[in-house]
Each structure stands twice: as C-alpha cells, then as structure tokens.
Structure 1
Amino acid sequence: MTRRSSLLTGVLAFAAMIVTVMQTQAVPILGLIATKLHVSTTSVSWVTTATLLSAAVFTPLLGRIGDLYGRKPTLLGTLVIAAIGSVVSATAGSLGVLLAGRTLQGVATAIFPLALSVLRDEIPAERLHGAMAIVSGTLAFGGGIGLVTTGLLTQGSDPGYHVVFWFTAGLAVVALALAAIVVPATGTRHPGSVDLPGAITLGGALILLLLPISQGHEWGWTSAATLGCFGGAIVMAALWVLIERRSAAPLVDLEMFTHRPVLFTNLSGVFIGFAMFLLFMGVSYLAQMPARIAGYGFTASILRASVEYLLPSTIASMLAAPLGGLLVGRIGGRYVLALSGIVGAAGFARMALAHEATGTVITASVVVGIAISFAYAAMPALIAASVPHRHNGVANGINSISRTVGSALGSAVITTLLTAKLLPHLPLPQEGQFTVAFWVGAGTCAATIAAALLGLRPQTRSATTEPAASQLVSAVG
C-alpha cells in the first residue's frame, strides 16, 4: 500500500474507532451516572438507548447525503456533531442535558459507512479489501478501548463521569483535524436528492424496533409498551416500503436492499453485532462477580475487568484485521465470513464449557475477538461488490445499522439471562446463566456460518457494471 493510501486508511480507521468508543464508554458507568445525577436505574438506561436510537435514524441518512453531496464534507460535519455531543455530555449536570449530548454522539455511527465510501473512492481496487478490513477492525478495537479507558478514567475515591466524555471530545477533535488535512475532496458526487419521507419512516421503524429491544428488560417482554412498539415497527416498515416503491429517488433501493448478497451480509451483521456485545458484557460481568459471595467469578474491579479480561481480545481484533483483509483477497469474503463463524463458535463454546480460570476466559475471548475482526473484514467487501457505487454510502449505513440492531439484541439478551435466575437471597446471577449466555453466543456464530455458506452464493455478482464494483467481484468469492 502506498504511503498516501496508508495515511488515509490510518486516519479513517482512527475516525471509525470513535464510533464504538462512544457506544460502549457509558456502559460501565451507568451506576455511577445514576448516583451522581440522583436518578433511577431505569432512567439512566436511556443514556445508552439515546445513542442507539440516534444512530438508527442518522446513519443511513448521512450515508445517502455523503453519496449525493460529497463524502469529505459529510464526514467532517459528522465529526463536528460528535465532538459537540461529547462536550455537551461532558458538561452535563442533569440527565436531560446528558441525553441530549448522547443523542448527538449517536450521529457518529455514520462515520464508519462514510469512511468506507471514501476508501472506495480513493484506494485502488487491488488494495481496497485490505484497507476496508483495517478500518472495520477498529470497530471491535474501539468497543474494547471504550470500556478500558472508562475503567482507567473513573478510578479514585470520588470518580466522576465527566472526564469520560471529555476523552471522546478530544478524540473527535483530533480525528476532525486529521480528516480535514488528509481526506481528499475528490470523490464522485452522484445526482439525486434526499428522500425525506423515506428517511423519516425508516428512522421511525428502526426506533420502534430498537426501543423495546433496549428497554424490554425494564418494561417486561410481554408488556403493552413492548408489544406495541414491535407492532408499530411492523406498520412503519410497511409504510416505508410503500413510500420507497413510489419514490422516484428512494433513500434505499429496495431491489438492492433485498439483493441476496446484501440481505445475508446484513443478517450476518446482526449476528456479529450480537456476538460482540455478548462477549464484552458477558466477560465483564463474569470477571466482576464476587467469588467469595457468589462461589464463582474473579472479583475484579471495573478497571481490572476491562484491562485484564477485555483488552486482550480488543488488541487481538486489531492485529487480526490486516490478516482478515489478506484472507478476503485470497479465499473470498464468503469463506472468511464462514471462517469467522467457526472461530467464534469455538471461542464461545470453550467459555461455556470452562470459565473457572482466568487464562481460559482470556484465551477464549481472544479467539472470539479474532472471529469478530474477520467478519468485519469480510462484510464491507461483500457489500462493495454487490451494490452500485452511487449507493455505497447508504448500503454500508444499513449494514452498520444491522450491527447496531445485533448489539442491542446482545445487550438485551445477556441482561435478561443474567437476571432470570438469581442466587438465593442475593441479587447475583446463578453461574449457569453465564454458561447459557456463552452457548447462545456460540449458536449466533454458528448462524453466521449458515448465512455465509447457505445464504451467499459461491460467487457474488455485482448489481452494476461500474468499475469499482466489478473489480471487487474476484475479492469476495
């Protein structure tokens, strides 16, 4: 890879890392925020939900805006909003202000599809899958870094949450400066307009889907609110399809959306997002279980759980990203995606069968981290070879949302599992619930194998004759 390409890839990878740092940084300190702001556990859960819902609305919309009006200005604008959201969160003295900041931070999720679109514009086809793999690999790395830095920044006798958001504000400002200097403004702008009715109905459908997923354990999975939201999501999705079919310039080309490679790649995105959050939260909770009281676990602090138990898997994910890109070029995205499922299932199965020793848990989580990195390397290549260049931003935006949906599901499922069966007279989960959770992770990875080998055809044919897509066909297998 040339020096210019390497520099561009590095800057975009750093920018993409911010996405998952912002998503995960608040997870370990929800209890701290609730204490500092004197709010209930139920109320403080909106700190993560607000970011999730914001991402669902703005990611496909900003991907489309980038396709139409230029990737660099859209990327820089998104980084500005992410920085402002971080500053608002860092200075918040009430839950309402903090939620406003976290909503603005959720817009940062669009950085990833915009970064991939810039790569597709600027990187030669023979190097593109490797560059995409590196940028994608930073997502898993960023998720772990968000947890680790939060643990480091909230040490001391009187920890505060403000410094955590100042940290991401600094990251966003650095990324903004680097992107302004390094990212060229030479990408192709495609004709068309923003389909606002389509954006509104798609955003509404995603909000009504993600809201009960993220809040279901608080509301009750069979409550009127939960079932009503799921029903509303179905109605809104049907309305969205109707609008898109009648639109002269739809936000999402439905034929592209249901195109077999895109459909099964997005389904795999749900599985991988699920596995990543289940890994992070499952291992973190297990490490923090008080061994003398619960009879299992490692009595780790938030910091130790993050650094000792989670950091190795995030580092492994980052180091495995270039290998994933190389494998995509050698054996194809379909087989790399299947390989990620095999490796991930093995890692989760190992944790399900034996999680009494620190070394076993760390080693197994490293294996799963590598699997996630391989999947992240494969999915952008599969998307890039399957959609026209003019739809690249929105297609990757939808794929990002599929992982967001999976992450929300993973968070909800493990929360539900770990509160379903508690130890007698203690508010702690029975050890068997962790075993069940890790088996669920293994099953999700196995589903990725099925999606890759049964859902994706041996050779993905592009839906267009545009050079950038046709040159990638050989790279996705």
Structure 2
Amino acid sequence: MPAAQVRPPSCRHPRRPVINGPAPALRTGPIVAVLAFTGTVAAIMQTLVTPLISELPQLLHTTASNASWVITATLLSAAVFVPISGRLGDLLGKRTMLIASCVPLLLGSVLCATSSSVVPMIIGRALQGMGMGLVPIGISLLRDVLPVERLGSAIALVSASMGIGGGLGLPIAAAVAEYASWRVLFWGTAALTVVIIGMLWRIVPAGESRPAGGGRFDFVGAAGLSIGLVCLLLPVSKGGDWSWGSSRTLGLFAAAVAVLILWAYWELRTTDPLVDLRVTARPRVLLTNLASVLVGFGMYAQALVMPQLLRLPEATGYGLGQSMLAMGLWMAPGGLMMMVVSPLGGKLSTARGPKFTLVVGAFTIAAGYALALPLMGSTWGLLVAGIVSNSGVGLAYGAMPALIMSAVPLSATASANSFNTLMRSLGTSVSAAVVGVVLSQMTTDLGGFTLPAESGFRVSLVLGCGVALVAAAVAAAIPGPPAAKPRSVPAAPRAEGAPAAR
C-alpha cells in the first residue's frame, strides 16, 4: 500500500477523543456541595422525630415503651449497615453505594409517612437508618476525585454535615410538626432523597471501583458484627427501661463480648475481612477511633442537656420555659456554626495537620461546656455555649476522617471511614445512656411531677467537659504519619574510560 494512503490512528476517527490526552478538569465545587447536602439530609433523620416523642404513643396507638423503638430502630440499623455499606463501597464503587444507600432512605420515608401504627413506623425508621453510610462513603469518594489542595476543606465540610444536619433538623422538624401534619416531615425527606439520587447520578463521578487485586464481601464478618453490635447497643439504649442490673441487660452485654471476640478472630483469619483489624490496630488509626468515641460522647451530651434546660418550666428555678419551636431556634445557630467553621478547620489541617485540628476541636468542645456551667440559667448563655461547643465539633469531625485516610490504603478508605463513623455513633450511644442515668437518678419534684434536678444537669455538663478534655489528650498522643521512603535513583552510566566518581 502506498505510504500516502496510510493514515495515523488518531486521524481515522477525528471526532473520538484521544484516550491518552489530558483528562478534563472536574468541577469540584458542585461535587463537594452535593455530598455535603447528601450528608446533611441523612443526618436530619436522626432528629426528625424528636419533636414527636411525647406524641408518638397517641399518634401510633401504642405505649410509650413501644414508641421509643422508633428511635432505637434507627440507631441499631445505622450501626449495623454503616460498616457494611462502607466495605461494599470499596468493592462495588462509591457512587454506586451512595445511590444504593438512598433507596432504603426513600422507602423508609414513604413507609413512615403512610404509617398509622407502630410496627410499620419502626420498620420505616430502620430503613432510614440504613442510609447513614452516605457520609463516610462520600468522604472516601472525595479522596478519589479531588486534588490534594482541595481535599482538607472538602473533607471537613462533608464530615461536619453530620452535625449540621443534626443541629438544623430539630428546628425544622419542630416548625413542621407545630404548623403542619407530622406526615409532611417524612414526605419532605422522601422528596429530598429523590433529588439527591438525581444529583449523585448527574454530578458526582464514580471514583475507584475496586481494591487492588479484587476482593470479596465477607458475609460471615458482616453477620458477626451485626449480631455483636445489636447485642451491645440494644442494652445501652434500653438499659434505663429494662434496669441496668436485669438479666436481659447483662445477658446481652455478655453475648456482645462473646460474639465480638469470635468476630475479631474470624476477621484476623479471613483473606478479605469486612474490617481490616490489622490496619485498625495501627496506632494512628486506633487512637483516632478512640478519640472519635470520646468526641461523640462530648458532642451528644450537650445536645441532650441544653434542649431540656430550654424546655423545662421556669417554675423549676433553672428551666427556661421555651416552646419546642423556640428551643429548636435557640439550638440552630450551633448547627450553622459547624457549617462556618468546617472550611476553616480544613485550612487549619492543611497548615498544621489534622491532629492539631482535632486537639483544638476537643479543647473547644470542653470550653463550650465550661461556659454552659455558669450560663445555664440564660437562653443567650446557652446559645453562646452551644455555638462554642459545636464549633469544636465541626473542627473535630473534619479532622478525624483526614487522620484515618492518611493511615489506610486507598482501597480501604470507605470501610475505614465507616468504622470511624461507627465509633462516633458508639460514643453518642454511651453518652445518651450515661446522661440518661444521671438525669434519672438526680431528680426533683414539681407539682407531683418528677423532673431532672439542676444538679443532674451540672453533673452532665461536667462529665461532657471532662470527656472532651480526655479526647484532647488522646488526640495529642496520635503519632504522626509514617515518613515517606526515599526513592532510590539509579546511577547514571559511566562513559567508557571516564574516571570513577570518588
């Protein structure tokens, strides 16, 4: 064939893009915005039914004890499915699991909106809990698609969306519950979930789809961890109703210990574990997870104490007599402050490292508690204390996933972040149990009603402050990242006859 008739490969299909050419730059702003919005909506589910707690028995025609399962079901479901969805994100693709996690969130919202009895409501709330893996998977996806210079602030914002959603969910839910039907809450979340699915599909890239060398899902590990977590968290959340010394409570704690030991033995022996315990045992990861438990405790204790102080009648001498809606509005600035602080925390992590940001965040949480002790008799005082404390939460929540991802391989970021989220949830569960015991044991009588005493609130605030200080100490002990190994540069070939270098 004459040479003139031969065309180079790049000319045969002039409209096809060159595969080896530079990839088009991603617009990272919309990606971060979508993931932060997704996390905020998911976190709103945690406080969605808070304004309805006292009315649920009448709305669902059941007892107060049965109605409490509407909250417990979400807690247990989230604890079980967050690590599972994280591992599936590493195996199947993070965007795929983000969209998949929205499906039970949507179904659960529709089921709750149409429920008139307690059983379908509990099932719907459990389905909503399955969507709590959206935040850790979204954070892991950021590592795949964002440039290094944008990663710190983006991680901080998406991670803080858990606190932002929790802080904003209460006033929004209170307003809707007071001025509209409670079913609007769930129809609204269903509509938002549909919008999120569309945005994830259109805006968010797929990210890494599989770990190096493939991998299989650990069904035995998933079942073992699920059973162990249910046996652990069920008595933590219901121990106050069942009695902490009852055979049911103690039996479940014993079963949790036994099952989790067997689960750990299995995870150390299997080839593709659900949670790589060897990576989790690295000091940088282990201490970060421990600090996460403590920060979760510190974050949730003030979220339990301050609303009750705002809601209790003024006749107690320490209650502030606010309506449900007013209480939510006084708490809202704290959630908004996380949104303001989280990008600053990302810049601080870039400049000084995420360990420094975590230490500062824990100290700031403790400062918020310290302010609340002398100011708890004033709505403005609690507002200031809440802003300070939630600013610390925003700093800490942004630093923890950055620390985790700097210590784990790229192929395990989703599962490692999901396990870290589980540690935070464990801290909030323990906080709810401990503060619940304190407030139930330290009570006062007002007009024939038993209410938490002022001393109980002060003890709870002191506990929150102390735990935050311990979190700061643990964070300070986190070792630095491993030093990068220098690459060996091969020596240049010596020309024939040239003298050897001395």
- The TM-score normalised by the length of structure 1 is 0.93
Structure 1 match to 2:397: 376
Q: How does 1:71-220 map to 2 (within 5 A)?
A: 71-156=94-179, 160-190=181-211, 191-220=214-243
Computing the radius of gyration from Cα coordinates, the structure with the larger value is: 2
Instruction: Name the CA shift for 1:461/1:19 in 2 (closer, same or farther; >3 Å).
Output: farther
Take 2:124 and 2:105, find their aligned partners in 1: how far apart are those partners? Answer: 9
Structure 2 match to 1:41: 64
Structure 1 match to 2:319: 297
Structure 2 match to 1:262: 285
**What letter corresponds to residue 324 of structure 2 in structure 1?**
I
| Alignment root-mean-square deviation, CA | 1.6
Instruction: Name the CA shift for 1:83/1:462 in 2 (closer, same or farther; >3 Å).
Output: farther
1:304: how far off?
0.5
Runs (4+) of structure 1 exceeding 6 A deviation are 462-465
Matched-pair contact (CA < 8 Å) for 1:385–1:462:
no
Pair 1:316 & 2:337 matched: yes
Report how many residues are paired.
458
Find 1:29's aligned residue among 52, 60, 68.
52
Take 1:428 and 1:464, find their aligned partners in 2: how far apart are those partners? Answer: 61
1:291: how far off?
0.5
Q: Deviations over 1:6-46 (max 9, x none)?
A: 11000000011122211121223111111211222211111
Matched-pair contact (CA < 8 Å) for 1:387–1:464:
no
**What letter corresponds to residue 15 of structure 1 in structure 2?**
T
Take 1:451 and 1:434, find their aligned partners in 2: how far apart are those partners? Answer: 26
1:211: how far off?
0.6
Which has the larger share of helix? Answer: 1
1:131: how far off?
0.7
Q: Deviations over 1:151-185 (max 9, x none)?
A: 111114xx643222222212211111111110112
Instruction: Name the CA shift for 1:67/1:463 in 2 (closer, same or farther; >3 Å).
Output: farther
Matched-pair contact (CA < 8 Å) for 1:79–1:108:
yes
Take 2:425 and 2:363, find their aligned partners in 1: how far apart are those partners? Answer: 22
**What letter corresponds to residue 296 of structure 1 in structure 2?**
Y
1:298: how far off?
1.0
Pair 1:231 & 2:254 matched: yes
Take 2:249 and 2:189, find their aligned partners in 1: how far apart are those partners? Answer: 33
**Gap runs ≥5 in structure 1:** 466-477
**What letter corresponds to residue 301 of structure 2 in structure 1?**
L
More displaced stretch, 348-357 vs 50-59: 348-357
- The TM-score normalised by the length of structure 2 is 0.89
1:103: how far off?
0.7
Structure 1 match to 2:411: 390
Take 1:445 and 1:462, find their aligned partners in 2: how far apart are those partners? Answer: 30
Find 1:283's aligned residue among 306, 324, 339.
306
Matched-pair contact (CA < 8 Å) for 2:136–2:159:
no
1:415: how far off?
2.1
Take 1:353 and 1:444, find their aligned partners in 2: how far apart are those partners? Answer: 19
Structure 1 match to 2:6: none
Take 1:54 and 1:361, find their aligned partners in 2: how far apart are those partners? Answer: 32
**What letter corresponds to residue 451 of structure 1 in structure 2?**
V
Structure 2 match to 1:272: 295
Instruction: Name the CA shift for 1:340/1:95 in 2 (closer, same or farther; >3 Å).
Output: same
Q: Deviations over 1:318-365 (max 9, x none)?
A: 110100101111111111111111111111011123311121111011
Structure 2 counterpart SS, 1:31: coil
Take 1:278 and 1:291, find their aligned partners in 2: how far apart are those partners? Answer: 22
Structure 2 counterpart SS, 1:427: strand
Structure 2 match to 1:469: none
1:229: how far off?
1.1
Take 1:462 and 1:441, find their aligned partners in 2: how far apart are those partners? Answer: 36
Take 1:64 and 1:378, find their aligned partners in 2: how far apart are those partners? Answer: 21
Structure 2 counterpart SS, 1:423: strand
Pair 1:10 & 2:33 matched: yes
1:87: how far off?
0.9
Matched-pair contact (CA < 8 Å) for 2:51–2:177:
no
Instruction: Name the CA shift for 1:441/1:186 in 2 (closer, same or farther; >3 Å).
Output: closer
Percentage identity across aligned positions? 36
Structure 2 counterpart SS, 1:428: strand
